[in-house]
A and B are shown apart, each in its own frame.
Chain A
């Protein structure tokens, strides 16, 4: 088992994001290798063989997604999903801030594999430093001949167009991203057809997360087999995890998939703030089911193991919650988030998220009523599986799991009009 790092393999300095720094650590060699000696299908097969799965949260096999595209189509688009908005997630911005060329090289390689001429980077509008560093890096890459016509004399041409979002979490959903990129509100689209068949302006489109694409240069340079040596049987390679919440040292770390969760919290992040006990962990961003402290004993960070425990690896955003936190008020923070971010297109999500937020807010203000918990359970059942996109499910999951696992706190708040834990969210 190699302990190779795909991302955190250099020291971050004031210049480590520049082209010269990137080249000095082997950057753009994968691109040269591919353009000089590989066919597009070879690149796709290499990515398939590596076992790389989407790093944005859905975990779909990347090479397989690429294979769905009909390469004979006159126009094919690639879009990098940099609309990092899942609460708890802050890993993609690191790539823009410190290794943007890694993403650029990955995108050119992916575009080559997919026969793409114009690729897009849909980056959330709020990002400031990531956006500025991306623009500088794109300029550097263009001037060095890695973008534009006839790259490195290979005959292959490609342009990457950066595009800022407008402040909408739902635009991280791939069909919503497409709607937004087409000049509309970010309304997700009904599937079928899937984006790989009919996406941006009805052309076949592949949407990949930043981290997913930024893995590609390493895979091409070092070979799929080397990548596949790392990780678990079904979840290969490494992933960037970002810890936040009640830990001493919240930070980003690149871990081989299959790393123990407890080790992350107690060793790598220095344990819980204030020496408190652990209450709960949300392992993969706010949309993933919350796990009680007792449930994380044997969890390793890979898609299958976390799923077996009843949650999701998701985006790799590990949110740590210490003893003493009021789960009712914490849920209200989430229901408020989803109600704010619901796009409004389909009935269950538009009405359901607002309704759940009203109920949970009422409870958290001491105005809970008997039957509120049963109502919440009913609403989540009415939303899940019935919406156009996964935001509905993402909004319902926290409600389902918080109520299931901390029912006593909700009942207490309703009966007594106040929190069981003095309403704390902060330590």
Chain B
């Protein structure tokens, strides 16, 4: 278990001749990480047990010749730590030699280049010329741990982060280190696949290119990309994520320009209040969610029209309706919901729903991150409008349907104004169909199942004819 920051007494010690105030129960590495003092580490992870196997965090204590690993070094009063003494620098060089002794020089073809801790530390702490003239050991290379994850045992430095993740965090125990000594390697059970619902976290956690995402494989060098803060809409946990898109200085011109509108990959964004540094596989697939075929053009009864024609038709229908209703989307942002309430709150009967239900084969709920409610903003919908499932028996003649995944036929024969993002097949076309933006195309916020508010930012511009739902309500 990680050493917890217990309510210990405050004590003073010296790190690199600077006096630092620390809490009893902390380790020297924890102190360094939160104070911006440089001590390298591979195997340490704040949320997992201390492994102490990489040995790169060795520091000098009170001038003694035997160096100690900072990750497992409890602070004591009057301690004097040196992080850059000659002994420490020599030790780091030696450790880097050992770590990269059998590491293949794959950087040119390895996805991890540019975000690889091994590369970074090699340049910073290692020797340029390797000492070894022995041929490098061969290991199982570049094979499927599952259909999502690739494992390359030659690149692995056996820090055990992935193993500890499946043991302590996702608790599936699907990864382990087998064999002894220099034959050690990470492996899964032969008779099973690595189908841990949180498997992709090991790719983020791996300090080298040993574990890679098949989905992201060879799509881009990461230095062409940048991150945008967003939220996963896969369930009501609303984990914070980073969406990776192309940096505009690296935009592709000519053919392939569609890459500039591509969400290359998703990674967790550390949010101590909601998901910590973790994300489930559905979250890692968020970019697939938003890449489904879109509704791109307004239509009246299936016939393409201009946006103004569509809005006018909708407005007219709402005004004429005897018993209009609206079904609110649980994927709507807080801002959109506010606007809706102000513009239409008094004019229509408001119903709520959970747009998406768990699908067959999907984890419904677990004791870690995944919630049964597969929608990001049910909390706010409930807070504003209560819980009102649509009643077809109430005789509504017009329904303003906001969101997707609902069969028009279940609306009791009412005419439908559909504010829709994703293409879907219906028996009859909607009376009015207005394409609306996804949360990737605007900024806003959701409230997760605990009511914690979280912000997301715009990743891409919306397609030309697509509207922001929030802009529409005032015009209806």
Contact = CB atoms under 8 A, between A and B. Distances in A.
Please tell me whether chains A and B touch each other in their complex, using a CB distance cut-off of 8 A.
Answer: yes
Interface of A: 168, 185, 190, 192, 339-348, 350-355, 358-359, 362, 369, 371, 375, 378-379, 381-383, 385-388
B149 interface: no
Contact of A386 (B55, B132, B181): B55
B60 to A, nearest CB: 11
Contact of B98 (A345, A347, A362, A371): A347
Interface stretch (B64-72, B238-246, B400-408, B449-457): B64-72
Contacts of B158: 344-345, 347, 350
Interface stretch (B89-97, B303-311, B333-341): B89-97
Interface stretch (B46-54, B257-265, B323-331): B46-54
A371 B133 CA distance: 10
Given A348-B95, A378-B94, 4 more contacts: A346-B52, A347-B99, A348-B98, A354-B137
A329 B382 CA distance: 79
Given A342-B180, A386-B55, A386-B94, A347 B157 contact: yes
B101 interface: yes
Interface in B285-313: none
Given A342-B180, A382-B97, A369 B133 contact: yes
B55 A355 contact: no
B183 interface: yes
A382 B91 CA distance: 6
Interface residues of B, number: 37
A379 B415 CA distance: 80
A369 B134 CA distance: 11
A354 B94 contact: no
Contacts, number: 98
Most chain B beta carbons < 10 A, residue from A347, A358, A381, A385:
A347
A385 B54 contact: no
Contact of B54 (A347, A355, A358): A347
A354 B181 contact: yes
B383 interface: no
Interface string B117-153: 0000000000000011110010000000000000000
Contact of B94 (A168, A359, A381): A381
A342 B95 contact: no
B179 interface: yes
Contact of A388 (B53, B102, B131, B182): B53
Contact of B55 (A346, A354, A359, A379): A346
A192 B177 CA distance: 24
B65 A385 contact: yes
Given A359-B134, A386-B55, A388-B53, A190 B72 contact: yes
B181 A382 contact: no
Given A342-B182, A344-B179, A369-B133, A386 B50 contact: no
Given A340-B181, A382-B91, A351 B133 contact: no
B91 A354 contact: no
Most chain A beta carbons < 10 A, residue from B90, B97, B157, B181:
B181
B91 A350 contact: no
The 4 A-B residue pairs with the shortest CB-CB distance, nearest first, are A382-B94, A344-B184, A354-B182, A190-B52
13 contacts: A168-B180, A340-B180, A342-B182, A345-B158, A346-B55, A347-B55, A347-B158, A351-B99, A353-B182, A354-B137, A355-B132, A381-B90, A385-B66
A168 B102 CA distance: 24
Contact of A344 (B52, B102, B183): B183
Interface in B104-120: none
Contact of B182 (A190, A350, A359, A383): A350
A348 B69 CA distance: 13
Interface string B30-61: 00000000000000000000101111101000
Contact of A346 (B53, B101, B102): B53
B74 A192 contact: yes
A343 B177 CA distance: 11
Given A381-B94, A386-B91, A355 B183 contact: no
Contacts of A387: 55
Nearest to A187: B53
A371 B137 CA distance: 21
Nearest to B95: A347
Nearest to B72: A190
A341 B181 CA distance: 7
Contacts of A190: 50, 52, 69, 72
A386 B182 contact: no
Contacts of A354: 137, 181-182
A332 to B, nearest CB: 15
B181 A350 contact: yes
A386 B95 contact: yes
B315 to A, nearest CB: 69
Nearest to A378: B131
Contacts of A352: 98
A346 B43 CA distance: 10
Nearest to A387: B55
A99 B72 CA distance: 42
Nearest to A189: B52
A362 B133 CA distance: 11
Contacts of B93: 382
Contacts of B74: 192
A348 B181 CA distance: 11
A344 B176 CA distance: 13
A191 to B, nearest CB: 8
A350 B133 CA distance: 17
A355 B94 CA distance: 13
A383 B137 CA distance: 20
B52 A385 contact: no
B55 A353 contact: no
A185 B97 CA distance: 26
Contacts of B53: 345-347, 388
B180 A351 contact: no
A353 B177 CA distance: 19
A348 B93 CA distance: 11
B398 to A, nearest CB: 66
Given A352-B98, A386-B67, A387-B55, A342 B181 contact: yes
Contacts of A378: 94, 131
Contacts of A168: 180
A185 B81 CA distance: 33
A9 B180 CA distance: 42
A265 B135 CA distance: 43
Contacts of A358: 134
A348 B67 contact: no
A342 B65 CA distance: 24
Contacts of B134: 355, 358-359, 362
A236 to B, nearest CB: 28
B256 to A, nearest CB: 42
Interface string B352-385: 0000000000000000000000000000000000
A152 B181 CA distance: 48
B101 A355 contact: yes
A348 B182 contact: no
A170 B4 CA distance: 30
B102 A351 contact: yes
A342 B184 CA distance: 10
A83 B137 CA distance: 31
A351 B72 contact: no
A378 B90 CA distance: 11
Contacts of B72: 190, 192
Contacts of A359: 134
Contacts of A388: 52-53, 55
B469 to A, nearest CB: 55
